[in-house]
Structure 1
Amino acid sequence: MSKNDSLIAVLILRCLITLSLLGTTRLNSFNMFCSEVYAEARPEVFPGTRTHGSDRTMDLGLAEDHFSRPVGSFVASDIEQLKLAIEECKKLILELPEHSERQKDNVVKLIHLRLKLQELKDPEEDEPNLRVLLEHRFSKEKSKSVKQTCDKCSTIIWGLIQTWYTCTGCYYRCHSKCMNLITKPCVRSKVSHQSEYELSICPEIGLDRQDYRCAECRAQISLRGVPSEARQCDYTGQYYCSTCHWNDTAVIPARVIHNWEFESRKVCRSSMRYLALMMSRPVLRLKEINPLLFNFVEELVEIRKLRQDILLMKPYFITCKEAMEARLLLQLQDRQHFVENDDMYSLQDLIDISTGRLSCSLTEIHTTFAKHIKLDCERCQAKGFVCELCKEGDILFPFDSHTSVCHDCSAVFHRDCYFDNSTTCPRCARMTERKQDEEELDVKES
């Protein structure tokens, strides 16, 4: 881009921002603009124009009623003449004094010309609000932001003059004109069908095994950047072109599980979307993948104990009317798996554990739950236990830190009493004796 083109681009951007603040979006009629162009333009801008006193006109090579025709009636020559008008208007902007009113007016006119050119190339009336393609569900966007980038062509989406779509599933963004060129299926479908991570750290296979082509679009790439730079995705270990890999960064699950490392690494676009959609899914069973992690990360042991206590509290809540009305379990609605098991984790859980955020919030919830059972609710208090081994002390609950629970009958005892007792659990003994009596009674009756 030349220096002049850069200057014009800056001026246009300023005017686009001004127009967006004023609420100007897309021009449906161009007649008023043409009248302004004819009345104010300088004669020297376009060769062959004539002036008569103060009535200076700019001959665009088009009749005024030309812009009133239906969109479908435009021909290729109309587009060519508009392109010519745009180039001449750019020259005029560079000739005029910088920051002058005439220069600003002509920049606005240049924007209007480009708006009309875009309408001829990409008529908005034919664009549906919803399109389905490769399992994407594309919804037409109404935002006029200029900060978006097309995921297909890697260029800026000019919301003021271009129609664009966003996939409601994976948030893939693209121009309307790029829709038919998309080859990437929706990542959300992969999340639905294959909810699991790559658990090997950067499983590189080598650029030669990829035939020196992008792993996604198969464009030619090389480490020397000729014809395109090869960029490695730290999640898949494969190499991608600059169109499929924008140097986005993400936390890599394999590095977290094996090394407890949370540094963000460069990943390709598809991996970035997949990791973002998988972030809150509880698919990591740490006890199977890397059980030694609990020996080195004290925070994990603390969280596991809190989760086990919450699972012991759950039966109290689902049988307590007051707890159901207070919806106490909904305090964990963002981490529903915490009230279902104690061994499944999401990547977001592990990130929050490393920052200490999860420990603080879960301890607070644990305290609220315990307060309801032991202090606030008489019905829950009545479901406590008395240590049958020493028959002393306060009412016990299975989630108390100084207690032990029988694995067979779930009776609760003081921890010291339970481990010092050489006999079997008294409750289990009674249940066994009762069962034997019932069997003997059945035999006598038969």
Structure 2
Amino acid sequence: MYIHADSKGFVLHFVRILPGQYSVYAYEDSALCHSSLFSEARPELFSGTRTHSSDRTMDLGLAEDHFSRPVGSFVASDIEQLKLAIEECKKLILELPEHSERQKDTVVKLIHLRLKLQELKDPEEDEPNLRILLEHRFSKEKSKSVKQTCDKCSTIIWGLIQTWYTCTGCYYRCHSKCMNLITKPCVRSKVSHQSEYELSICPEIGLDRQDYRCAECRTPISLRGVPSEARQCDYTGQYYCSTCHWNDTAIVPARVIHNWEFEPRKVCRSSMRYLALMLSRPVLRLKEINPLLFNFVEELVEIRKLRQDILLMKPYFITCKEAMEARLLLQLQDRQHFVENDDMYSLQDLIDISSGRLSCSLTEIHTTFAKHIKLDCERCQAKGFVCELCKEGDILFPFDSHTSVCHDCSAVFHRDCYYDNSTTCPRCARMTERKQDDISDVKEA
């Protein structure tokens, strides 16, 4: 194992795997390499002015800096000549004595030639910063990370020498050279036009219905892996090739709604992106899809009650100057649907309910809202109610746990008083009597 520091500012770390074969790791900054590795490095590889003896001189006729135009007896001026030089290097590595200095130097030169070849195949000059294709909005990346993978060819993106793009909508990544080969439209467009989930659990139709081809790119596939392995997506139920299905995992909405199951399942790449973009969208109306879920999941009942209370608090805040200045409702800006209705949920809501995070955060917000209305703000306190049935006790608010609200006039009473009293609501009775008096006055006039 040794390290070669290049003059261009990145480090190549070589680990011998088999005789004549090395595993190479590239780092943009030598500081990323562990200090213990340098104790095993050969000093002459780090020297800025290195001299070669005649017996170690390469016969390839290439300059030391292989990122500039090579000069000498073998001028690698285009891709074909670079390929020939690479083949010569491979043959020489096999012919040279194992573990010899010349063999190690030849490996270094081979890596430089391959990087130069890749640079010519994927030129960075004249590449636009923004490209639009199949509703993707591709933005040119400046990151030099080598840990990204091209979604088209499934190979590593070498950020040091390759130009690559990322879709700002669905985060589809690909080499510049792969752009014209893309056939998958942007998933965000589907989210914008069709914001709904597949609510059947793994709706498999069978490989024969797919004509034994990938559901996305139509590549021939089979369960035996010949010519390509068929991989099932648990979200769509369809089968995909290994290029379109990387064995990514995601929580499947249908399994959550019907079974309250949150175990991640294997999904294809397009499903993974779609589920990620849909994660925070409130499109699940649980009372219609599976109303029995509230009978078996106590946390859902608790969250529903908290949401109903918040909706009752909302009129106080939108008419209170202090609440508007304090922007209390912005505490729910990440879950805007909580201040609009009490029956729509996003998949992220259900995940947070299962983990207990939503109950804790929503209870804290509920307490803050109630404290403002009942203790901190005199204007809000003045909007409270006195139970007209018993005319006793403290001021009541519709979100109190021991109260009941009249469905017709929204008057608030003690729960026990409301259900024990068999007569009509006193406020409704007054309103009805007032209307009759107005009608009588109109007739007399």
SS of the counterpart of 2:174? Answer: strand
User: Is the 1:71–1:120 contact (alpha carbons within 8 Å) kept by the matching residues of 2?
Assistant: no
**Higher relative contact order, structure no. (Cα contacts within 8 Å, ≥ 6 residues apart):** 1
CA distance in 2, matches of 1:118, 1:201: 45
Pick the structure with more helix per residue. Answer: 1
User: Is the 1:37–1:109 contact (alpha carbons within 8 Å) kept by the matching residues of 2?
Assistant: no
Q: Cα distance 1:255–1:326, how it changes in 2: closer, same or farther (>3 A)?
A: same
> Which of 9, 12, 16 is matched with 1:7 structurally?
12
1:145 is displaced (CA, Å) by 1.3
CA distance in 2, matches of 1:37, 1:283: 53
User: Is the 2:128–2:140 contact (alpha carbons within 8 Å) kept by the matching residues of 1?
Assistant: yes
Give per-residue Cα distances to partners, 1:315-351, cap 9 Å, x unaligned.
1111111111111111111111000000000001001
Q: Cα distance 1:49–1:372, how it changes in 2: closer, same or farther (>3 A)?
A: closer
SS of the counterpart of 2:90? Answer: helix
Residue range with higher mean Cα deviation, 223-232 or 52-61: 52-61
1:54 is displaced (CA, Å) by 5.3
User: Is the 1:4–1:94 contact (alpha carbons within 8 Å) kept by the matching residues of 2?
Assistant: no
1:82 is displaced (CA, Å) by 1.6
Residue range with higher mean Cα deviation, 275-284 or 2-11: 2-11
Q: Runs of 5+ in structure 1 lacking a partner?
A: 14-34
Q: Cα distance 1:294–1:53, how it changes in 2: closer, same or farther (>3 A)?
A: closer
User: Is the 1:140–1:164 contact (alpha carbons within 8 Å) kept by the matching residues of 2?
Assistant: yes
1:100 is displaced (CA, Å) by 8.1
1:87 is displaced (CA, Å) by 3.4
User: Is the 1:39–1:55 contact (alpha carbons within 8 Å) kept by the matching residues of 2?
Assistant: no
Residue range with higher mean Cα deviation, 148-157 or 62-71: 62-71
User: Is the 1:71–1:123 contact (alpha carbons within 8 Å) kept by the matching residues of 2?
Assistant: no
CA distance in 1, matches of 2:389, 2:39: 103
Q: Cα distance 1:66–1:98, how it changes in 2: closer, same or farther (>3 A)?
A: closer
Give the equivalent residue in structure 1 for 2:400: 400
> TM-score, with normalisation over the residues of structure 1?
0.83
CA RMSD of the aligned region, Å? 6.1
Pick the structure with more strand per residue. Answer: 2
Give the equivalent residue in structure 2 for 1:333: 333
1:118 is displaced (CA, Å) by 2.3
> TM-score, with normalisation over the residues of structure 2?
0.83
Q: Cα distance 1:106–1:383, how it changes in 2: closer, same or farther (>3 A)?
A: farther
Number of corresponding residues:
423
Residue range with higher mean Cα deviation, 139-148 or 362-371: 139-148
1:121 is displaced (CA, Å) by 1.9
CA distance in 2, matches of 1:198, 1:37: 51
Give per-residue Cα distances to partners, 1:102-138, cap 9 Å, x unaligned.
7666555444323322232222113111110000001
User: Is the 1:215–1:238 contact (alpha carbons within 8 Å) kept by the matching residues of 2?
Assistant: yes
User: Is the 1:163–1:176 contact (alpha carbons within 8 Å) kept by the matching residues of 2?
Assistant: yes
Q: Percent identity?
A: 94
SS of the counterpart of 2:17? Answer: helix
Give per-residue Cα distances to partners, 1:218-276, cap 9 Å, x unaligned.
11111111111111111111111111111111111111111111111111110010001
Matched, 1:275 2:275: yes
Q: Cα distance 1:63–1:160, how it changes in 2: closer, same or farther (>3 A)?
A: closer
CA distance in 1, matches of 2:257, 2:58: 69
SS of the counterpart of 1:70? Answer: coil
CA distance in 1, matches of 2:418, 2:37: 95
Give the equivalent residue in structure 1 for 2:253: 253
User: Is the 2:69–2:77 contact (alpha carbons within 8 Å) kept by the matching residues of 1?
Assistant: no
Residue range with higher mean Cα deviation, 83-92 or 164-173: 83-92
Q: Runs of 5+ in structure 2 lacking a partner?
A: 1-6, 19-34
CA distance in 2, matches of 1:167, 1:324: 38
Give the equivalent residue in structure 2 for 1:286: 286
1:374 is displaced (CA, Å) by 0.6
CA distance in 2, matches of 1:39, 1:261: 52
